[in-house]
Amino acid sequence: MTAPSSLKDAVLGHDGAMPYRVTFVCTGNICRSPMAEAVLRHHVEEEGLDVEVDSSGTGGWHVGDGADERTVAALERAGYRSAHIARQFEPSWFGRYDLILALDGGHLAALRSMAPDEEARGKIRLLREFDPDAAGDLDVPDPYYSGREEFDLVLGQVEAAMPGLLEEIRAALKEG
């Protein structure tokens, strides 16, 4: 089976009776994925979309911790709010999500290796696939060992993917 050509193809079977569920996955769930979670949550709440948004990490180093203070600061500077507790993605969770968004190719590979079947693998995408200006560079860099500028860059990349992601989510909800 080939990868789905659209989000609609990836979520066949979503009947619209339950909220559409999106999760973002990075390494430790303290920088990139909670940032993406906060930005998408802001947009779906603003539009009143029936979408649940959360995030997790491929590793368990920070389980139970809040988001990195630099992530929170970057979000606050841009007008977003975040109340986040880190957790690790579990293979048993594939069934609960309609869309699983990896922040880089390493997370994509890790998630695909955990996926129990082709249906689950079809739910996994890279966030920057939704940014028309990504120009083939689909990884969101890890800002953990960097400063404010890198966190702001990451936030900018996350925000750039939102219009395309929201368009796909709206289409999936409409197809419901």
Confidence (pLDDT) at 144 = 98
Residue 94: both structure tokens together: 């594939």
Cα three-residue angle 140-142-148, rounded to 5 degrees = 105
**2 located within any domain:** no
Residue 20: both structure tokens together: 């559409």
Residue 120 domain boundaries: 17-175
Percent of the chain with pLDDT over 90: 87
**7 located within any domain:** no
Confidence (pLDDT) at 129 = 98
The pair phi, psi for residue 165, each rounded to 5°, is -65, -45
Q: What is the phi-psi region of residue 136: left when phi exceeds 0, alpha when psi lies from -120 to 50, beta otherwise?
A: left
Average pLDDT over the chain, rounded to whole? Answer: 93
* Strand 99-102 to 124-126 pairing: parallel
Q: What is the CATH number of the domain that holds 31?
A: 3.40.50.2300
Identify the bridge partners of residue 55 per DSSP, sorted by sequence position.
24
**8 located within any domain:** no
Query: What pTM value is reported for the model?
Result: 0.90
**1 located within any domain:** no
Q: List the catalytic residues.
A: 26, 32, 142
Separation CA 167–CA 131 (nearest Å): 11
**Confidence grade of residue 9 (pLDDT, cut at 50, 70, 90):** very low
Average pLDDT over residues 17-38: 97
Residue scoring higher pLDDT (11 or 85): 85
Contact call for residues 27 and 57 (beta carbons, < 8 A): yes
Quote the crossing angle between the two packed helices 148-175 and 32-47, to the nearest 10°.
40
| Domains of the chain: total | 1
Give the tens place of pLDDT for each residue, 31-86. Answer: 999 999 999 999 999 999 999 999 999 999 999 999 999 999 999 999 999 899 99
